[in-house]
């Protein structure tokens, strides 16, 4: 069985392509969205999703969120006794999603299509694949998030011959793709983005402004209090999408927080972030060789695109209002389901074909001799230009700089800057030349092959000798090797995870603990409720637990509504 997964910065979703088209699965708590948060409880059990997010407030030291932003780096985080890499944290989320899918489908899931931001780099993509392997599944394909959104949107609307721009502002990443649909072909023209721009950054801006207004510093709060403040501000950010003015009142730790903000102020604060969104939009459009008026529609997806300022930005730049996707949170996951259907060659999808692009420019370092014989080194010579359709294979010829040069070192880079120093180095290849030949005859043909999954293969052949030098770019510093993946897979399997049946009880307790931190006035009551519910859980009598769970849940609901 193959499923589609949206592994997001803040939320993750899972689904498959079923009889009635794409269909999402609910998690143990009955929701489609599973927060991408991991926590470890006192007994060493791993918690994923809503209970972990609640524990982010009550136990900030043993909980972690937004780890998608570290994918592709070697950063590790300490949770309880063990330290985790971002791949492992993602794998835990994936495992929980797969358990939901298996519960709904009643069969084992072996393969998945996972969505990644279009602008994810090589290292980040490989880290996502590794996460899939750690979760015990085969990642059949990585699909770009805007492309997935386009698949979901386009197939739903069935608009023939239209060009549109997908604006995907998620929790931590920003992506833009320009696409065209005709005759059942979904053709991506160009993608651009910013891997470190998302809803979280808007929240940071709010937090900085709030603390500055109240003349406080982040160090004035304990980790728990900081989490509480952030949660309040998150609510403020959400409310600002509907109300012109929002205020926060209450006590956090020793500090009384009284703060109000209106939409104009927020707009002003978010101005630098809006400026950062301009460049990818312009670049995507220019690379697609389209004028703004040639776009039929601009579609917003991703939770953070709900903010009204996004619509304003689009209106200012394109002179037209964007179209909001019915459910911006689910669009990508639905698209990933469609992609999984495509992968398994679902009969109903047979007429849909997707062509995607490589979002980065790939090339080599070269030196160039000018008219006066000065050599300028460190120039970037592109071989595969960004936004070329994949799979692609391109070759270019290079010559030694000096007469009688005996070897040539080919340094492979990814990036957009004309100088290689500002780009990312992917690898290096040493090529021996025949020094007795004149420069013009010492040609080296370099071929780059970029496949549909984003793996780059480099081949260099000196024409004179015809000996091929090859390099597969799969190992990056900061990435796990196959061996390490196997070792870590074994280690992850030993982690204790609560059975799915208990999830609801755990979620309820975590929620009660969060409320305990949030509401100073109701602490005593909550304390009693929590210990009471714990006692009932120990009886292990299913019927009694079910009954009490209902009551407990209602009580918590009314408490939350009250304050």
Partner 1 sequence: MNWAFELLGLRPDADVADVKRAYARLLRITRPDDDPEAFQRLHMAYKIVLAHISAKATAAIMPTPTVVTHAEPTSRPPVQLALPTHADTTNVTEPVVHLGTLTNEIIRAAIEAQNSEELSRWLKNRPEFWSIQIKQQAAQLVLQRLFQQPQAIAAHCMDAMLKFFDLDHVLSGVNPVALQSLRARQRTLWELRPENHHELARRAGLMHNGRPEVLRVRKDLALLQHPLNWARVTLAAMQSKRAHGLAALVRTLSNNGRLDELPASVNRQHAMFWFRGATGGPLLTRERFILHSLRAGVWAFVTMLAVVVIAMMSAAPDGVHWSEVARVAGILGGGILVLWLLIAGFWWFDLWQGMPESTPSRWPWLRRLAIPLLCVLSFAMYETGNAPYMRWLVMMCFIAAMRKFRRRIAGNGSFFARITASTPAFIWISVWIIAALSRAQGMEDFPLIPILALATFAMSIADLWRHRAYLHPRLARN
Give the residue, chosen from 435, 467, 482, 544, that forms a contact with partner 1 under the rule CB under 8 A: 435
How far out from the chain centre does Cα 376 lie? 38
Per the DSSP assignment, residues forming a β-bridge with 169 are 174
From the list 380, 448, 516, 552, which residue makes contact with partner 1 (rule: CB under 8 A)? 380
Q: Which of 125, 325, 386, 514 binds partner 1 (CB under 8 A)?
A: 386
- Residue 391: CB minimum distance to partner 1, A: 4
Q: Residue 249 contacts by C-beta under 8 Å, 6 or more apart in sequence? A: 257, 258, 259
Of the residues 374, 521, 524, 558, which one makes contact with partner 1 according to CB under 8 A: 374
Report d(CA 317, CA 286) in Å as an integer: 13
State the binding string over 394-433 for partner 1 (x if CB under 8 A, else -).
--------xxx-x--------xxxxx--------------
For residue 256, state whether it binds partner 1 (rule: CB under 8 A): no
Task: Determine, following the binding rule CB under 8 A, whether residue 291 of this chain makes contact with partner 1.
Answer: yes
Is residue 253 within the footprint of partner 1 (CB under 8 A)? no
Reading phi first (left if > 0) and then psi (alpha if -120 to 50, else beta), residue 503 is in alpha
- Smallest gap from Cβ 110 to partner 1, in A, equals 19
Stretch that binds partner 1, among 52-60, 65-73, 176-184, 509-517 (CB under 8 A): 176-184
Q: Which residues contact 466 (CB under 8 A, 6 or more apart)?
A: none
Of residues 404 and 554, the one with the C-beta less far from partner 1: 404
**3-class SS of residue 138:** strand
Options 260, 316, 348, 468; binder of partner 1; rule CB under 8 A: 316
452 binds partner 1 (CB under 8 A): yes
- What's phi and psi for 414, nearest 5 deg? -125, 130
Residues in region 145-164 near partner 1 by CB under 8 A: 161
SS3 track for 271-318: HHHHHHHHHHHHHHHHHCCCCHHHCCEEEEECHHHHCHHHHHHHHHHH
By beta-carbon proximity to partner 1, the closer residue of 278 and 554 is 278
Between CA 447 and CA 551 the distance in angstroms is 67
Kindly tell me which residue out of 96, 207, 361, 503 binds partner 1, with binding defined by CB under 8 A: 361
Among 368, 481, 528, 551, binds partner 1 (CB under 8 A): 368
By CB under 8 A, is residue 367 in contact with partner 1?
Answer: no
Q: What is the DSSP letter of 448?
A: E
**Among 88, 18, 175, CA closest to 493:** 88
- Site membership for partner 1, residue 486 (CB under 8 A): no
Site map 204..233 versus partner 1, x via CB under 8 A: ------------------------------
Query: Which of these, 462, 481, 551, lies nearest to 512 by C-alpha position?
Result: 551
Binding of partner 1 by 318 (CB under 8 A): yes
Q: Which residue lies nearer to partner 1 by CB, 229 or 366?
A: 366
Question: What is the C-alpha to C-alpha distance for residues 123 and 390, in angstroms, rounded to an integer?
Answer: 18
Kindly tell me which residue out of 222, 436, 475, 539 binds partner 1, with binding defined by CB under 8 A.
Answer: 436
Contacts of 211 (CB under 8 A, 6+ apart): 217, 218
Through-space distance between the first and last CA atoms of the chain, rounded to whole angstroms: 46
Tokens of 444: 């080296």
- Catalog residues that contact partner 1 under the rule CB under 8 A: 161, 182-185, 275, 279, 281-283, 285-287, 291-292, 316-319, 351, 353, 355, 361, 363, 368, 370, 372, 374, 376, 379-380, 382, 385-386, 389-393, 402-404, 406, 415-419, 434-436, 451-452
């Amino acid at each position: 069985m193959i499923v589609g997964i949206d592994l997001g910065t803040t939320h993750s979703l899972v689904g498959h392509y079923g009889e009635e088209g794409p269909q999402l699965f609910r998690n143990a708590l009955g929701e489609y969205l599973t927060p991408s948060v991991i926590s470890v409880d006192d007994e060493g059990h791993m918690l994923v999703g809503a209970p972990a997010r609640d524990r982010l407030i009550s136990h900030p030291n043993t909980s972690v969120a937004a780890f998608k932003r570290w994918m592709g780096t070697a950063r590790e985080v300490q949770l309880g006794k063990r330290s985790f890499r971002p791949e492992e944290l993602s794998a835990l989320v994936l495992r929980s999603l797969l358990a939901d899918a298996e519960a709904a489908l009643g069969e084992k899931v072996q393969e998945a299509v996972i969505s990644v931001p279009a602008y994810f780099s090589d290292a980040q993509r490989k880290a996502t694949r590794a996460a899939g392997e750690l979760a015990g599944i085969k990642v059949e394909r990585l699909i770009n998030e805007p492309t997935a959104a386009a698949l979901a949107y386009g197939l739903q609307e069935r608009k023939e011959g239209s060009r549109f721009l997908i604006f995907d502002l998620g929790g931590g990443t920003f992506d833009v793709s320009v696409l065209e649909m005709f005759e059942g072909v979904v053709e991506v023209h160009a993608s651009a983005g910013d891997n470190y721009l998302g809803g979280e950054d808007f929240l940071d801006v709010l937090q900085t402004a709030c603390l500055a207004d109240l003349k406080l510093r982040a160090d004035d709060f304990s980790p728990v209090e900081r989490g509480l403040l952030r949660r309040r501000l998150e609510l403020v950010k959400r409310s600002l999408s509907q109300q012109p003015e929002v205020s926060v009142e209450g006590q956090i730790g020793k500090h009384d927080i009284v703060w109000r903000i209106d939409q104009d102020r927020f707009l002003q604060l978010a101005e630098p972030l809006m400026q950062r969104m301009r460049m990818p939009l312009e670049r995507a459009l220019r690379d697609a060789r389209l004028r703004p008026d040639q776009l039929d529609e601009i579609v917003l997806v991703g939770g953070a695109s709900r903010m009204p300022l996004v619509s304003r930005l689009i209106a200012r730049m394109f002179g037209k209002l964007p179209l909001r996707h019915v459910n911006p949170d689910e669009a990508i996951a639905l698209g990933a389901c469609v992609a999984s259907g495509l992968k398994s060659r679902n009969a109903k999808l047979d007429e849909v074909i997707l062509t995607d692009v490589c979002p980065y420019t790939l090339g080599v370092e070269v030196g160039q001799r000018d008219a006066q014989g000065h050599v300028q080194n460190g120039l970037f010579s592109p071989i595969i230009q960004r936004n070329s359709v994949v799979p692609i294979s391109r070759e270019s010829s290079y010559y030694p700089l000096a007469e009688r040069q005996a070897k040539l070192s080919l340094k492979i880079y990814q990036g957009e800057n004309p100088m290689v120093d500002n780009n990312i180095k992917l690898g290096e290849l040493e090529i021996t030349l025949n020094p007795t030949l004149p420069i013009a005859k010492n040609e080296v043909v370099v071929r780059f092959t970029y496949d549909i999954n984003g793996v780059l293969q480099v081949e260099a052949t000196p024409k004179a000798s015809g000996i091929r030098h090859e390099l597969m770019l799969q190992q990056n510093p900061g990435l796990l090797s196959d061996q390490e993946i196997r070792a870590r897979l074994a280690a992850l399997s030993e982690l204790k995870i609560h059975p799915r049946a208990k999830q609801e009880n755990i979620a309820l307790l975590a929620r009660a603990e969060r409320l305990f931190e949030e509401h100073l006035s109701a602490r005593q009551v909550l304390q009693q409720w929590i210990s009471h519910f714990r006692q009932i859980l120990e009886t292990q009598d299913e019927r009694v637990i079910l009954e009490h769970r209902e009551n407990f849940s209602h009580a918590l609901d009314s408490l939350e509504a009250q304050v």
